[in-house]
């Protein structure tokens, strides 16, 4: 689809959990980790896509200095304990989008609303209860771009 449409920019807006950033903060991920990738039993480095020359952190994405930079751990599993590893926040789709954009040479920008953060007020809500706040904050980002 990227080659058929030839976009000038692919923009990813979404939510993420974090033990580093506060609930309600919007961050600008510029580094991506495939957190489900663990082939250490086969002597491969943790978080590295097999048969690639990539580092553990895929550094790809436009930097917007109005928002804190972040490294996002992307994966298909839900994270119950959002402890920082080599990432600042976790979500489920950013690595794949950044990887495809880099391969196609298409500019990419991402912004994540921290729906589950380090602050104490995160513990007493469900993800679906913060979607209106996330939508409003990310709409503001979209209007700024």
* pLDDT one-digit tens code per residue, 71-118: 999 998 777 666 668 899 999 999 999 999 999 999 999 999 999 877
Domains of the chain: 2-144 (3.40.50.1580)
**Where is pLDDT greater, at 10 or 6?**
10
The pLDDT value recorded for residue 58 is 95
What pLDDT, on the 0 to 100 scale, is given for residue 121? 54
3-class secondary structure per residue, the chain: CHHHHCCCCEEEEEEEEECCCCCCCEEEEEEEEECCCCCHHHCCCCCCCCCCCCCCCEECCCCCCCCCEEEEEECCCCCCCCCCCCCCEEECCHHHHHHHHHHHCCCEEEEEEEEECCCHHHCCCCHHHHHHHHHHHHHHHHHHC
Q: What is the pLDDT of residue 126?
A: 72
Which pLDDT does position 85 carry in this prediction? 81
pLDDT at 82 (0 to 100): 67
Q: Which pLDDT score is estimated for 53?
A: 85
pLDDT digits (tens, 9 = 90+) for 20-44: 999 999 999 999 999 988 888 887 7
Cα–Cα distance for residue pair 60/57, rounded to 1 Å: 9
Q: What is the mean pLDDT of residues 51-68?
A: 93
Predicted pLDDT at 25: 95
- How many of the other CB atoms lie within 10 Å of CB of 102? 17
What pLDDT is stored for residue 117 in this prediction? 76
Task: Give the CA dihedral 9, 10, 12, 18, nearest 10 degrees.
Answer: -80
pLDDT the model gives residue 1: 66
pLDDT at 139 over 90: yes
Q: What is the C-alpha separation between 130 and 117, in angstroms, rounded?
A: 12
pLDDT of residue 54: 87
CB atoms within 10 A of CB 45: 13
User: 83 CB contacts (<8 Å, ≥6 apart)?
Assistant: 19
């Amino acid at each position: 689809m990227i080659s058929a449409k030839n976009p000038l920019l692919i923009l990813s807006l979404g939510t993420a959990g974090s033990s580093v950033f506060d609930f309600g903060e919007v961050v600008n991920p510029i580094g991506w980790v495939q957190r489900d990738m663990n082939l250490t039993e086969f002597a491969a480095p943790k978080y590295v896509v097999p048969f690639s020359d990539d580092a553990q952190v895929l550094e790809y994405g436009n930097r917007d200095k109005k928002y804190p930079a972040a490294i996002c751990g992307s994966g298909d599993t839900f994270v119950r304990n959002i402890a920082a590893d080599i990432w600042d926040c976790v979500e489920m789709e950013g690595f794949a989008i950044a990887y495809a954009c880099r391969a196609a040479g298409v500019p990419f920008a991402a912004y994540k609303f921290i729906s589950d953060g380090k602050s104490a007020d995160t513990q007493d809500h469900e993800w679906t209860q913060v979607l209106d706040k996330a939508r409003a904050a990310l709409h503001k980002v979209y209007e700024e771009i």
